[in-house]
Structure 1
């Protein structure tokens, strides 16, 4: 069973703008969440007064680049039910509930009219899993069936958005409507395990038996001292895109201790979803940040992580003095 003290490498932080509030393992509430409590809700709540049709797509200047902007015909704008204004219909096959949708987006707070986030100034795209149960219901209900090239404005009700907790980090209150402008780039079916060309590992490393559907069997070489430096050994070289620092990455993994070969965690057990986090953004231990940036989607990677790139600085952590060995299947990045 997974140790409650081992929260693999911090929290899985899929883009906050897409995820609903989830229950915490501790059952507690942080100060930021408390700042958008029921008293604030009562003070700012307004009756529904519009829909996505009350939003106009315009343009703005961002450092000399023309980017989409949204203009609300009424502020505050409040919707009782999520609604969609289609700007362009798109072409091709519609996205299914099992796929990842790649898109560009702009988000505006309907209560204040202020921009929250936008990918357009940097021309970045993000990938959103329609199979992720923590995706905002407003996206789950509107993006299934969306087509490449489709452009739409989504006025998302609080119930379909961030709900009673809001999202203090993004400045979204518990009764705020959030308005999105979305351009769909395409949809892909995500990998469920590594796919690509096998790579012959160098001698002296742990050996791995992995089928991609159950926890990997990792055997520590008998009598070998753990390496003092980070070891990154691809076992399968995937053909997907290269992981860039800061990207959101979806993975399956198994981790064991070099000292005794004991497994301390795996995502490949019944009831668990692939692990998803930002890589190269200090959301995970340094061995993952350094070892996975530059790898490709579809790859299976063996990481041997010395304590100074693992939990060496975490006083009292059960893995503080351990060299960690991971097998990671990189399933998606975006």
Structure 2
């Protein structure tokens, strides 16, 4: 469900011909680092890359600032929200791969910035070789990782069209972290659904089951209803929302995505790609479909939310259609009305 805009941005930057050069990071043998990072953790760092840098023989990581607060240390399986500056190393000039400190294009003054929300040990938008270096660090810490496309992305580097020798540096600030039971769900009595909304049964070990109103046309505008009202903290725009969810298309009621295991349907050759329990994403920053941004930002931990999302608020949004025109590939759900049930189980 999450937008992979950062993954796309990174891949595109690394496949620009001008950047496909034998790259470099400071080697362990250098007396002077090829990458200089200045600034306090929690503030935008200045990352300066030397022109004569050489790639390290292996991934090199160091803690630039170690937080000492009461928060728990990051462990495998935890969700983290990160600010990141990632740059190429080597070639004529260093190029930004990611910079979450920069305001999003067209964003209003004071609007939440897009940050990275990841689960340690589960590759999503960032390579696991980078995020694993956050283990043992506390929120408020700043960590630097240097390597090449090959050492950080592994076999995926070639698959994504990257030059395996392309050097890069990642400077990550841990904004927050949380540890959530992968089977967590909203608790409490579920309210009756409103007229015109699908019935839903949330199941413990399987995707939720929906009953679409017979003969009813889907609503033309986004609709949402809290089936369970939580009493936990509010998930504000810019924060990460940790969720269990299931999504189906109104037109056929078939599950297309869920955080719970899906069974292979009759006639299908491949087992569906299953998520391993709860997932997390940033809300209020266009990191997910606009229907989710509008309906879920401001939710409270413990809420269960039922949504019906029209195409223009889902994968058929003007932005999605523009991307499809550029790539020549339209999302298979671009013309579908989407139905979701989302349990808000934590925030990060």
Match of 2:67 among 76, 90, 94: 90
Q: Return the offset for 1:217.
A: 2.0
Q: Return the offset for 1:177.
A: 1.9
Q: How many residues align?
A: 302
Match of 1:100 among 73, 79, 83: 79
Counterpart-to-counterpart distance in 2, 1:157 and 1:33: 11
Alignment of 1:1-334 (within 5 A): 12-13=3-4, 15-16=6-7, 41=20, 44-45=21-22, 50-51=27-28, 54=33, 55-59=35-39, 67-73=44-50, 75-91=52-68, 93-111=72-90, 112-120=93-101, 126-134=116-124, 135-163=126-154, 164-165=157-158, 173-190=163-180, 192=182, 193-195=184-186, 200-204=191-195, 205-221=197-213, 226-238=218-230, 239-242=232-235, 244=237, 251-258=243-250, 262-267=253-258, 268-270=260-262, 272-273=274-275, 287-306=291-310, 309=313, 323-330=337-344
Contact 2:303 2:344 (8 Å CA) reproduced? yes
Contact 2:306 2:342 (8 Å CA) reproduced? yes
Q: Which structure shows the higher strand fraction?
A: 1
TM-score w.r.t. structure 2 length? 0.66
SS class of match (1:156): strand
Report Cα offsets for 1:1-23 as digits up to 9, x if no partner: xxxxxxx6xx742742998x7xx
Counterpart-to-counterpart distance in 1, 2:140 and 2:342: 33
CA RMSD of aligned residues (A): 4.4
Contact 1:12 1:277 (8 Å CA) reproduced? no
SS class of match (2:180): coil
TM-score w.r.t. structure 1 length? 0.68
Counterpart-to-counterpart distance in 1, 2:47 and 2:85: 8
The runs of 5 or more residues in structure 2 that have no matched partner are: 104-111, 263-272, 322-329
SS class of match (2:140): coil
Q: Return the offset for 1:227.
A: 3.8
Q: Return the offset for 1:225.
A: 5.5
